[in-house]
Amino acid sequence: MEYRKHAGVEVSALGFGCMRFPTREDGSIDEAETFRMLDRAWARGVTYYDTAYPYHDGESERVVGRWLATKPREKVVLATKLPIHLVKEPSDVERIFQEQLDKLGTDYVDFYLLHAMGAERWEIAKKNDVLAIVSRLKAAGKIRKLGFSFHDEYPVFEEMANAFDWDFCQLQLNYMDVDDQAGLRGCELAAARGMTVSVMEPVKGGSLAAPPREIMDRYQALQPGWSAASWALRWVSELPGVAVVLSGMTTMAQVEDNLDTFDTLRPLTEDERAAVAKAAELYRARTVVPCTGCRYCMPCPMGVDIPGIFKIRNEGAVFDAPASAKGAYGRMAEQSRQTACVSCGRCASLCPQHISIPERLAEAHAYLTAE
């Protein structure tokens, strides 16, 4: 196992993400199998475990806490997150934090994050003096390192990164998401601000673990022993400032594969980097709508999330995952879907890619709602 410094703390380069534990038929966590997986990771050198208040409907922290009780606390690097969307007044911050400590069975958290931050949650944090409160908790020794996880556009990340003396941040990065959200620019700004980075979604929610045959053939020709997930993890582990790469593991096979990857971590060769670049190119060639996410078309006067719909449509095609795309579309707010479009044409007149947006939205809706 490779170890790195994360905000000055030595951690395993592989972090165990605690959002995708194995579950039983009723949706509850299969605790026995989860413990077996956590123990295996621990035995092979994983020290960083990342959970959050809402994971597994609030049960992840409890299960992690029960597992934590079987290990020397000072050897485990524990990360969890403050659910900013539940903060209605300043007193909620300490109340929620204490609830998390109780569930985890500990009196401190090593890495504490403001969870899933974006423009709206950043405003909630400022309104409720969250940074001052968590800073006091840090000064009291209840939080060792303070950071935030991020899911919004780069300008929001830039504002947050420059507004406070953060220890670290957590970004969604993989070889397909170099420009999405904070992207590689966010990684570079974090380094400039003295923040180390923990990476989430390095395999894009598992999408990069099962590539089309033309991509897998290229990988196998160079490294027949590496899984597709291993290629994705190795690529992201090389990014500047990355200290820990999180993987949400659901099976023992995934645990073993990831452990093998980080036991044999080394810089990619030029040929290997070229193979990843070609994989990204082949994935993008499957793109259906040439939307770049520039958002010139926004805001839509009717509230339609134009780039969001096109992103979902494209990912369904790129990753050959129609069911996943349909699920994502179904979870969108009703007023954000194509059904709110009145074909006014304002968006099309603003699009630098000259996309016939109303027509392509209708096509996307038909695909995403097909039985």
pLDDT band per the 50, 70, 90 thresholds, residue 211: confident
pLDDT in the model for residue 318: 84
Regarding whether 145 and 64 lie in a shared domain, the answer is: yes
Work out the percent of the chain whose per-residue pLDDT is above 90.
83
Give CA angle at 37 (204, 276), nearest 5°: 30
Regarding whether 338 and 191 lie in a shared domain, the answer is: no
Pick from 363, 350, 359, 354: nearest CA to 295: 350
* 285 assigned to some structural domain: no
Regarding whether 135 and 240 lie in a shared domain, the answer is: yes
Could you tell me if 315 and 329 are in contact, meaning their C-beta atoms sit under 8 angstroms apart?
Answer: no
Distances (CA, A) of 350 to 164, 198, 292, 306, 347: 36, 37, 13, 12, 5
* Residue where one domain finishes, among candidates 256, 277, 298: 277
pLDDT in the model for residue 204: 85
pLDDT band per the 50, 70, 90 thresholds, residue 110: very high
Instruction: Please enumerate in sequence order all residues whose Cβ is within 8 A of that of 5, keeping only pairs 6 or more positions apart, or say none.
Output: 11, 196, 243
pLDDT in the model for residue 293: 78
pLDDT in the model for residue 270: 97
Q: Which domain holds residue 83?
A: 3-277
CATH number at residue 24: 3.20.20.100
Q: Is the pLDDT of residue 286 over 90?
A: no
- pLDDT, tens only, 292-344: 777 889 999 999 999 999 999 988 988 888 999 999 999 999 999 999 999 99
Instruction: Please enumerate in sequence order all residues whose Cβ is within 8 A of that of 206, keeping only pairs 6 or more positions apart, or say none.
Output: 229
- pLDDT, tens only, 187-202: 999 999 999 999 999 9
Q: Tally the domains of the chain.
A: 2
Distances (CA, A) of 371 to 259, 287, 312, 365: 40, 22, 17, 12
Q: Is the pLDDT of residue 88 over 80?
A: yes
Regarding whether 56 and 205 lie in a shared domain, the answer is: yes
pLDDT band per the 50, 70, 90 thresholds, residue 132: very high
Q: Is the pLDDT of residue 352 over 80?
A: no
Beta bridge partners of 199: 171, 245
* 364 assigned to some structural domain: yes
Q: What is the overall mean pLDDT for the chain?
A: 94
Which helix or strand (DSSP H or E) is residue 246 part of?
A: strand 242-248
pLDDT in the model for residue 177: 84
Instruction: Please enumerate in sequence order all residues whose Cβ is within 8 A of that of 162, keeping only pairs 6 or more positions apart, or say none.
Output: 193
Pick from 83, 98, 92, 30: nearest CA to 53: 83
pLDDT in the model for residue 225: 92
pLDDT in the model for residue 353: 80
- pLDDT, tens only, 256-271: 999 999 999 999 999 9
Q: Is the pLDDT of residue 98 over 80?
A: yes
* 283 assigned to some structural domain: no
Instruction: Please enumerate in sequence order all residues whose Cβ is within 8 A of that of 214, keeping only pairs 6 or more positions apart, or say none.
Output: 282
Structure tokens at 319: 């990753």
* 297 assigned to some structural domain: no
Regarding whether 146 and 212 lie in a shared domain, the answer is: yes
Model pTM score: 0.84
* 296 assigned to some structural domain: no
Regarding whether 320 and 273 lie in a shared domain, the answer is: no
pLDDT in the model for residue 309: 96
Query: Is the omega angle on the peptide bond into residue 299 within 30 degrees of 0, that is, cis?
Result: yes
Regarding whether 338 and 263 lie in a shared domain, the answer is: no
Q: Is the pLDDT of residue 31 over 80?
A: yes
* 63 assigned to some structural domain: yes
Selected residue with higher pLDDT from 86 and 286: 86
Alpha helices in the chain (DSSP H): 31-43, 59-68, 91-104, 119-127, 130-139, 154-163, 183-192, 213-222, 228-237, 252-263, 270-285, 306-318, 322-330, 346-350, 357-369
pLDDT in the model for residue 361: 97
Distances (CA, A) of 191 to 25, 165, 177, 179: 43, 13, 18, 17
pLDDT in the model for residue 354: 84
pLDDT band per the 50, 70, 90 thresholds, residue 291: confident
pLDDT band per the 50, 70, 90 thresholds, residue 128: very high
pLDDT in the model for residue 302: 95
Regarding whether 327 and 185 lie in a shared domain, the answer is: no
* 295 assigned to some structural domain: no
Regarding whether 213 and 117 lie in a shared domain, the answer is: yes
Regarding whether 212 and 71 lie in a shared domain, the answer is: yes
* 110 assigned to some structural domain: yes
Could you tell me if 109 and 117 are in contact, meaning their C-beta atoms sit under 8 angstroms apart?
Answer: no
- pLDDT, tens only, 141-174: 999 999 999 988 899 999 999 999 999 999 999 9
